[in-house]
Amino acid sequence: MKSTGKVIGIVSNLVTVQTFGPVAENELCYITLGNTRLLAEVIKVNGDKASVQVFESTRGLRGGDAVEFEGKMLEASLGPGLLSSVYDGLQNDLTTMEGVFLKRGEYTDPLDHEKLWDFTPLASEGDKVIAADWLGEVKEGWLPHKIMVPFSFKGSYTVRRIVGPGSYNIDTVIAVLTDENGEDVPVTMVQKWPVKIAIKGYKEKPRPDRIMKTGVRVIDTFNPIAEGGTGFIPGPFGCGKTVLQHAIAKQGEADVIVMAACGERANEVVEIFTEFPELIDPYTGRKLMERTTIICNTSNMPVAAREASVYTAMTLCEYYRAMGLRCLLLADSTSRWAQALREMSNRMEELPGADAFPVDLSAIISNFYSRAGMVILNNGQRGAVTFIGTVSPAGGNLKEPVTESTKKAARCFYALEQNRADQKRYPAVNPIDSYSKYLEYPEIQQYLDENVDKGWVERVAEAKNLVLRGKEANDQINILGDDGVPMSYHERFWKSELIDFILLQQDGFDPIDCNSPMERQKYMLELVLDICRKEFSFDDYEQCRAYFKNLINVLKQMNYSAFPSEQFDRYREQLNQISA
């Protein structure tokens, strides 16, 4: 029996409900408004009054309106057909909605129930299975999409019956399992899971032991992110957060990409709709859109659904991870999600923490980041969820609650800097403040030694050190003047400029330079370090400047040339002549 209630208070999208019967924290309810029903979620219960956040505009709602509780939390539908989809934060399919404007109270099904999938069984009758074990497989695009024992199943089961190979829709019962009490349970190709709860169903979650390539030099070479790792990109507006995230989405080495546009600009999502169907995945040669799912709750869409959107996105990733796939979750921006929490906390008149954010902000963020990770499944296969979030610090000041809380939770830090952006040094990742904790992992060091080059980590440290020394030299030059410092300071400064222009900077809009494979990154780091290791003897700083500017120019042309190519070799030759 479902509980009911009635509206007794409204402030914006926070509604107070007088409840008749039991309600649960995070339980969903529908509020009746004329002919439509508005979805809402319980966020606080006090006596017989429940505070619910409404996922829609509450315009026109009035005291006394009927409320019906659903007896369940917000759930994601999981099954074949999730890829290439465009959902809102509550997993409504935006592509099947009618009309140009979003209609209040219109909820659409996330999955196509008619479409037939070619099913191949993987389990046999009599097999003992537990939650998340693979029963069968369908091809979703080019990816093997595993049909699993639903995650909510507790204890062990025996496969009583499983259908043979053939075409079925997602609602077909593909297997019947018998539980420990001898009860038969049917399994279809679709299952539901509450988004706020992490999907477990794996054997263990070891430390990440390899890197995820992105084609972005400042990440892969200087601060690599692990497969199954976490990272975040804070930066003031206009520093290229979104461009960097899109580059990672296009080039990231992953089987499945979920992009959560959380409280950001609608036109940025449009860019993904428009470009991704045309772009090619550099690893498989397939269309990028085939491996991408977009969860989009843009800044003008209801605030409460913003929070849901990141959880929905994470749940989809965990689902694909359980199939032994490598998933990459990009959330832009987690600050908007935190602001949504702040708005609700404020309306509930809770005592505020720093900057009026709720006091448990830090716990919420670290809990969310902890859902990422590389896992070993029950059958021994690997799966991973790599998570990169952006943070939009108020006023570009990194000493604010969201940045500080995220810094505690994420292992990679890519600090975008206003100053570098002003100078058009993109990606504007600060080379000195940014870090990747993974470079300190022995597993990762070993992986890089074996898969990139022996001694790679030391070389990266050498390059980073040169950048730091160059900055120090530059500070001295600025204080003492060009003539006030020894020549070696100028040389040091220009060596760091060389690394900056050739390795750190990358033209995201150039078809060749935008994506730099690891082999090429290795070649260029080698080349640049060789030059930096040389001792020069310039007569004056003008000569030093001219020499390095010339080098930078030629090396930049190399970055713009295909690798390997005749053009590339020509510039290489030119470089030899200059540095000879």
Partner 1 sequence: MATKAFQKTYTRLDAITKATISLTAKGVSNDELAVVNGKLAQVVKTKGDQATLQVFAGTEGIPTNAEVSFLGNPPTLKVSDALSGRFFNAYGQPIDGGPQVEGEERQIGGPSVNPYKRRQPSQLIPTGIAGIDLNNTLVSGQKIPFFADPDQPYNQVMADVALRADVDKIILGGMGLSNDDYLFFRHQFESAGALEKIVSFVNTTEEPPVERLLIPDMALAAAEYFAVDKNEKVLVLLTDMTLYADALSIVSNRMDQIPSKDSMPGSLYSDLAKIYEKAVQLPAGGSITIIAVTTLNDGDITHAIPDNTGYITEGQLFLRADTDTGKVIVDPFRSLSRLKQLVQGKKTREDHSQVMNASVRLYADAQNAKTKLENGFDLSDYDLRCLDYAKDYAVRLLSIDVNITIDEMLDTAWELFAKYFSKAETGIKQALIDKYWPE
Q: Is the Cβ of residue 395 or residue 442 nearer to partner 1 in the bound state?
A: 395
Give the number of C-alpha atoms closer than 13 A to the C-alpha of residue 489, restricted to the C-beta side.
16
d(CA 64, CA 477): 72
Stretch that binds partner 1, among 6-14, 190-198, 433-441, 517-525 (CB under 8 A): 6-14
Stretch that binds partner 1, among 4-12, 137-145, 192-200, 246-254 (CB under 8 A): 4-12
Helix/strand/coil for 578: helix
Q: Is the Cβ of residue 149 or residue 316 nearer to partner 1 in the bound state?
A: 316
Q: Considering only residues 187 through 216, tell me which ones interact with partner 1, judged by CB under 8 A.
A: none
For the beta carbon of residue 329, count every other beta carbon within 10 angstroms. Answer: 26
Kindly write down the DSSP assignment for every residue of 170-205, as one continuous string: TTS--EEEE-TTS-EEEE-S-EEEETTS----SSB-
Q: How far is CA 43 from the centre of its chain?
A: 26
What does the chain come to in residues? 580
Stretch that binds partner 1, among 148-156, 199-207, 331-339, 465-473 (CB under 8 A): 331-339
Q: Is the Cβ of residue 165 or residue 352 nearer to partner 1 in the bound state?
A: 352
What would the x/- binding string for partner 1 be over residues 211 to 250, using CB under 8 A?
A: -------------------------xxx---x--------
Q: Is residue 167 at the binding interface for partner 1, with CB under 8 A as the rule?
A: no
Residues 422, 423, 424: CA angle, nearest 5 degrees: 90
For the beta carbon of residue 267, count every other beta carbon within 10 angstroms. Answer: 9
> Do the beta carbons of residue 375 and residue 299 sit within 8 Å?
no
Q: Is residue 11 at the binding interface for partner 1, with CB under 8 A as the rule?
A: yes
d(CA 554, CA 552): 6
Q: Is the Cβ of residue 536 or residue 560 nearer to partner 1 in the bound state?
A: 560
Question: In which residue are the tokens 């020509």 written?
Answer: 570
Q: Is the Cβ of residue 347 or residue 437 nearer to partner 1 in the bound state?
A: 347
Find the binder of partner 1 among 196, 246, 250, 336 (CB under 8 A): 336
Q: What are phi and psi of 443, to 5 degrees?
A: -60, -40
Find the binder of partner 1 among 164, 285, 481, 511 (CB under 8 A): 481
What would the x/- binding string for partner 1 be over residues 349 to 368, using CB under 8 A?
A: x--x--xx------------
> Do the beta carbons of residue 133 and residue 379 sit within 8 Å?
yes
Shortest Å distance, C-beta 276 to partner 1: 12
Find the binder of partner 1 among 552, 563, 572, 579 (CB under 8 A): 552
d(CA 559, CA 575): 13
Q: Is residue 483 at the binding interface for partner 1, with CB under 8 A as the rule?
A: yes
Q: Is the Cβ of residue 126 or residue 509 nearer to partner 1 in the bound state?
A: 509
Total binding residues toward partner 1, as defined by CB under 8 A? 78
> Do the beta carbons of residue 323 and residue 148 sit within 8 Å?
yes
| Interior/surface letters 367-377, b for 16+ CB within 10 angstroms, e for the rest | ebbebbbbbeb
Q: Is the Cβ of residue 103 or residue 454 nearer to partner 1 in the bound state?
A: 103
Shortest Å distance, C-beta 463 to partner 1: 21
Nearest residue to 189 via CA among 110, 84, 77, 323? 77
Return the sign of the alpha-carbon dihedral for residues 273, 279, 283, 286: positive
Question: In which residue are the tokens 């049909």 written?
Answer: 147
Q: Considering only residues 253 through 312, tell me which ones interact with partner 1, judged by CB under 8 A.
A: 263, 265-267, 269-271, 273-274, 296, 298-301, 303
Shortest Å distance, C-beta 258 to partner 1: 16
Q: Is the Cβ of residue 360 or residue 440 nearer to partner 1 in the bound state?
A: 360
In angstroms, the Cα distances linking 281 to 139, 216, 264, 382, 386 are 18, 15, 25, 22, 18
Stretch that binds partner 1, among 135-143, 201-209, 359-367, 541-549 (CB under 8 A): 541-549
Q: Considering only residues 70 through 109, tell me which ones interact with partner 1, judged by CB under 8 A.
A: 86, 94-95, 97, 99-104
Q: Is residue 544 at the binding interface for partner 1, with CB under 8 A as the rule?
A: no
d(CA 451, CA 341): 43
Find the binder of partner 1 among 523, 538, 560, 563 (CB under 8 A): 560
Find the binder of partner 1 among 339, 386, 436, 506 (CB under 8 A): 339
Find the binder of partner 1 among 478, 530, 565, 576 (CB under 8 A): 478
Shortest Å distance, C-beta 368 to partner 1: 20
Q: Return all residues near 24 (Cβ < 8 A) that are at least 6 apart.
A: 42, 71, 73
Q: Considering only residues 127 through 166, tell me which ones interact with partner 1, judged by CB under 8 A.
A: none
Q: What are phi and psi of 63, to 5 degrees?
A: -55, 140
Q: Considering only residues 36 through 75, tell me which ones interact with partner 1, judged by CB under 8 A.
A: 57-64
Shortest Å distance, C-beta 75 to partner 1: 22
Q: What are phi and psi of 129, to 5 degrees?
A: -135, 160
Q: Considering only residues 373 through 432, tell me which ones interact with partner 1, judged by CB under 8 A.
A: 392, 394-397, 422-424
Q: Is the Cβ of residue 303 or residue 322 nearer to partner 1 in the bound state?
A: 303
Q: Is residue 565 at the binding interface for partner 1, with CB under 8 A as the rule?
A: no
Return the sign of the alpha-carbon dihedral for residues 196, 201, 204, 210: negative
